[in-house]
Structure 1
Amino acid sequence: MSVDVATDRPAGSVAAARDSARRFLEGLVPALASEAAGTVVLVVSELVTNALRHGGGTCPLDLTAHPNGIEVAVHDHSPRAPRMRAPDLDVGAGGFGWPPVNRLATSTAVTRRASGGKTVSALLLR
């Protein structure tokens, strides 16, 4: 499954990505437990938000079901990898997304793309 998420409507784009993830998960056999599905949707939301905020342009979202997990991959145009940092509690300027993604996922990866930019992926237990 692949979904293009545009930056002209960031809030709507994140919501559309969450909706696409829910539809993808609803079609899985066997079905995912409610808590696991909620975790996947949260990770989709965080990765798409980060890509829109820091990656510019559009950010295709790929969801892949594996026998033991769900892979969430978001592609963007920025070569800069996400970084762990303390959340900005005063201004709310960031630092809230990448740490929980790393806590919730069994693994995360950042891969440079030959065409430029990167892919940020997270593997979550099924």
Structure 2
Amino acid sequence: MDQRTISPRSPSARPGTDLSCAEARDTVRGALAELDAPARWCEDVLTVATELVSNARRHAGGVTAFRVTADCGAVVVEVSDASARPPVAEPWAPRTPGGFGWRLVNDLADSTDVHVHRHGKTVSAVLTPGPAART
């Protein structure tokens, strides 16, 4: 099992300023590189990681920890932030920008979990390469 973890590099940095969506995607690509995984599924994993990091940066003050655990059966993406407020699925509003990230994460992931703790929360998404990803 390959585990990759990124946390803020400098204690003086503001939470979230060290980890960009592009860095999260690079980390996920590295974790997926040694798996012979379907390309469509890998794109779903990259999308979920991007949305979770983007939501933490936009709504929760930034990312405090980012972890990807990958093996041939599943990928777990975990994003922590300093806010205890759980993500909310906004009502569908096609003419309003944004508001679809958490809904998208839940559509693409096999399961999601929000764990609130004394330092904020950790949002986890589990993705497995099901039959739809193999097409």
Larger Cα Rg: Structure 1 or Structure 2? 2
CA RMSD of aligned residues (A): 2.0
Amino acid corresponding to residue 16 of structure 2 in structure 1? T
Pairwise mapping of residues 24-63 of structure 1 onto structure 2 (< 5 A)? 24-28=31-35, 31-63=36-68
Going from structure 1 to structure 2, the CA distance change for 1:36 and 1:14 (only over 3 Å counts) comes to same
Q: 1:125 aligns with which of 100, 124, 128?
A: 128
Aligned length: 120
2:10 aligned with 1:7: no
Q: 1:79 aligns with which of 64, 84, 90?
A: 84
TM-score of the pair, normalised by structure 2: 0.78
Any stretches of 5+ residues in structure 1 without a counterpart?
Answer: none
In 2, the alpha carbon distance for the partners of 1:53 and 1:87 equals: 19
Any stretches of 5+ residues in structure 2 without a counterpart?
Answer: 9-14, 130-135
TM-score of the pair, normalised by structure 1: 0.83
Determine the structure 1 residue equivalent to 2:75: 70
